Amino acid sequence: MQARTLAALFGISFAVACLVDRPSEDLTCSTTADCTGFSEPRACMEGYCVEQNCPDDCTACDEGARTCQVDCTTDAGCGGVFCPDGWNCTIRCIGGGACNNVNCQDGSQCSIVCMGDNACGDIDCDGACPCDLECVGAACGSKDCPTVGGGANTVNCTADGTTNTECDSGHDSRCAGC
């Protein structure tokens, strides 16, 4: 009876050992630069390329630093682009219809470049701080940029201080650190 029990335990141990998920050598890394070529964003953590929990629109990101790079072209149109609260997003929309609308949520930081007819559609980053926007030609629709201050001291954080122009955190020192 004891030999039979020992054999059963050995069989179970062998089966469990075969089911243990071991990291693949393909996932080893020294730096995050070693983690390119995967279908999803990965970062080097403790010697292995691991998936990151990044916003959907990111083509590259660093979850720990909460930075997101979004690169969209006409050929790989992104639809609407969304930068969530607390993230620093660099958004490049190159080509007609590349991004549709761009929305930078309250508490986000956005740097947006739009090139090509209707590359970005409408831009909403009035709650982002800072928000910088470069629209080349007829690349952007309406632009909703941050404002600081209140009443007679309200400042539009745009290139020329008026509404519906390119967002520019350098317009007034208060626009850089809302």
- Position 122 in a domain: yes
Counted domains in the chain = 2
Which residue would you say has higher pLDDT here, 150 or 10?
A: 150
**Quick one: average pLDDT of 117-143?**
94
Same domain, 126 and 77: yes
What distance lies between CA 61 and its chain's CA centroid? Answer: 6
Specify whether the backbone of 9 is left (phi greater than 0), alpha (psi in -120 to 50) or beta. Answer: alpha
pLDDT number for residue 140 = 95
Nearest to 53 by CA among 92, 61, 45: 61
Distance CA 140, CA 145 (A): 13
User: pTM for the full model?
Assistant: 0.76
Q: Which residue has the tokens 């519906």?
A: 164
Same domain, 63 and 47: no
| DSSP for residue 22 | P
∠ CA 73-75-79, nearest 5°, is 65
Same domain, 100 and 125: yes
Same domain, 45 and 59: no
pLDDT number for residue 15 = 47
pLDDT digits (tens, 9 = 90+) for 94-118: 999 999 899 999 999 999 999 999 9
- Position 98 in a domain: yes
pLDDT number for residue 164 = 81
Same domain, 63 and 133: yes
- Position 178 in a domain: no
Distance CA 34, CA 50 (A): 11
- Position 79 in a domain: yes
Q: Which of 11, 34, 53 is the last residue of a domain?
A: 53
What confidence category does residue 75 fall into, taking pLDDT thresholds of 50, 70 and 90? confident
Which residue would you say has higher pLDDT here, 28 or 16?
A: 28
Q: Which residue has the tokens 């969304």?
A: 82
Q: What is the extent of the structural domain holding 42? A: 24-53
The residues near 137 (Cβ < 8 Å, ≥ 6 apart) are: 115, 116, 117
pLDDT number for residue 109 = 96
- Position 112 in a domain: yes
Same domain, 77 and 97: yes
State both tokens at 22.
């071991």
Same domain, 59 and 36: no
SS3 135: strand
What confidence category does residue 9 fall into, taking pLDDT thresholds of 50, 70 and 90? very low
Cross-strand pairs, 91? 70, 112
pLDDT digits (tens, 9 = 90+) for 19-53: 555 557 778 999 888 888 887 778 888 899 888 88
- Position 37 in a domain: yes
- Position 167 in a domain: no
Same domain, 138 and 65: yes
- Position 68 in a domain: yes
